[in-house]
Amino acid sequence: MNAHVQGCTAGAEIAPKPVRRESGQREVFCGLTGIVWLHRKIQDAFFLVVGSRTCAHLIQSAAGVMIFAEPRFATAIMEEKDLAGLTDANDELDRIVTQLIARRPDIRLLFLVGSCPSEVIKLDLSRAALRLSQKFSPDVRILNYSGSGIETTFTQGEDACLASLVPAAPPPGTGEDQLLVVGALADVVEDQFVRLFEALGIGPVQFLPPRRSTALPAVGPNTKFLLAQPFLADTARALEDRGATRLAAPFPLGVEGTTAWLRAAADAFGVERARFERVTEPYRVRAERALTRYRSELAGRRVFLFPDSQLEIPLARFLSRELLMQLVEVGTPYLHREHLSEELKLLPSDVSLTEVQDVDLQLDRCRAAQPDLVVCGLGLANPLEAEGITTKWSIELVFTPIQGYEQAADLAELFARPLVRRAKLVA
């Protein structure tokens, strides 16, 4: 549990930055949490967690409010007898899936989602998915992935989910290059990007995940894809295995990130520079103007990011370059050096990066540094506020549309609001 700072380097071709790698208690969600937004994104999919009461309790607690009539997720809670024999567990799973599909005939895609207990007892969900697919084909497609905490951290659950969709994607019909945007985005953000790509003459652009499972994008050697989220390592690998090419880019957070992200696609699709400038300029100007107010509120403020969603590095880049905040420490649950290479180049050379965490030691450093703003999870936020430290809950950064030009100021506002609020309250 002792922290050890390693002089580990981040690949030869990018500026080496020292990364502190810690081990110890990690105050993060597991990958099952992604179900909270994925089940809304893919509208005909159902997520069945095969796990324990803890898994069920986690998802409903992370969802916070139980607003959905009958959500498109559920847990098959394993009981003592399921642990005793795997044959029985498989029979039980078949029974539950049959029961579920009978009750939800509208479902076209069912994910069997592995959990810590199902992984530890080695319940083979990929075989179960195959077996059940044969039974329910062609009405319902059944896939599986693991959202277990022993293998995935928070947003990696989305990665595992999307990676499981890739083999199911159809081959491309034509030989023309196609742009694929990968990573769940709010519908409104997706629509904005569609309009931008159209204006650039790139299109039709496809999205993974699609809003309906029956509209999976075609994937093949002529697929060029942009990652919209920084946590999609396995999905990218699965796409590359199908011959697709990743377009290296920073992530579409802030004006700078969005522009560079769009430009990566524009360059790959041979869009002329002049056209790119002409199309993006009004958006850039408008977003810049909206950001100005928040820059004056945030410039020079010191921010400390606890690891949560892997969005931390793109966020830190946005906060430091567009809002002129000072980065005290940037924690991330996992640092994918290749996918983040364009981001790492843009961070200040003396940035303090931490991969994984020992939450107690990290809290010690945070308290010692007394930052103006701490970005952290829900378990830490109120305790830090009670100590007089202003916080921004990181989960909101995953549940809010923050990508693209029109959301750049919204993103800045999320960081400004806690500081504004603290300044307003006198009692």
334 forms part of the interface with other proteins (CB under 8 A): no
Residue nearer to other proteins on the CB measure, 153 or 229: 153
Site string (111-130) toward other proteins, x via CB under 8 A: -----xx-xxx---------
Q: Which positions from 256 to 295 touch other proteins by CB under 8 A, shown as an x/- string?
A: ----------------------------------------
> The tokens of 59 are what?
């998802």
Interface residue with other proteins, options 38, 47, 82, 234 (CB under 8 A):
82
Is 96 a residue that touches other proteins (CB under 8 A)? Answer: yes
Region of 324 (left: φ > 0; alpha: ψ -120 to 50; beta: rest) is left
Q: Which stretch binds other proteins (CB under 8 A): 81-89, 135-143, 168-176, 208-216?
A: 81-89
Q: How far is the CB of 178 from other proteins (least distance, A)?
A: 35
Q: Does 65 bind other proteins (CB under 8 A)?
A: yes
Give how far the C-alpha of residue 420 lies from the chain's centroid of Cα atoms, to the nearest Å. 27
Taking CB under 8 A as the binding criterion, the range among 27-35, 344-352, 396-404, 411-419 that sits at the site for other proteins is: 27-35
Q: 171: which DSSP letter?
A: P
For the residues of 224-279, what is the DSSP string, one character each? EEEESSTT-HHHHHHHHHTT-EE-----SBHHHHHHHHHHHHHHHTT--HHHHHHH
Mark residue 377 as left, alpha or beta (left: phi above 0; alpha: psi -120 to 50; beta: remaining). Answer: beta
For other proteins, the closer CB: 153 or 332: 153
How many other CB atoms sit within 10 Å of the CB of residue 288? 16
Q: Is 194 exposed, middle or buried (0-12, 13-18, 19+ CB in 10 A)?
A: middle
> How far, in Å, CA of 76 to CA of 265, rounded?
42
> Applying CB under 8 A, which of residues 4, 12, 13, 66 lies at the interface with other proteins?
66
Quick check: 199 binds other proteins (CB under 8 A)?
A: no
Alpha helical stretches, state H, 42-113 = 53-62, 80-84, 86-103
Region label for 343, one of left (φ > 0), alpha (ψ between -120 and 50) or beta (otherwise)? alpha
Pick from 6, 99, 292, 296 the residue near other proteins by CB under 8 A. 99
Does 98 interact with other proteins (rule: CB under 8 A)?
Answer: no
Instruction: State how far the alpha carbon of 233 is from the alpha carbons of 77, 163, 239, 309, 331, in Å.
Output: 29, 9, 10, 13, 18
The contact pattern for other proteins, residues 343-372, with x = CB under 8 A and - = no contact, is: -----------------x------------
Residue 294 CA to residue 296 CA, distance in Å, equals 5
Q: Map residues 378-397 to x or -, x wherever contact with other proteins holds by CB under 8 A.
A: xxxxxx-xx-----------
Q: Any contact of residue 62 with other proteins (CB under 8 A)?
A: yes
Report the residue number, 206 or 362, with the smaller CB distance to other proteins.
Answer: 362
Distance of alpha carbon 406 from alpha carbon 408, whole angstroms: 6
Residues making contact with other proteins (CB under 8 A): 1, 24-33, 50, 52-54, 56-58, 60-62, 64-67, 69-71, 74-80, 82-83, 89, 92-93, 95-96, 99-100, 116-117, 119-121, 148-151, 153, 360, 377-383, 385-386
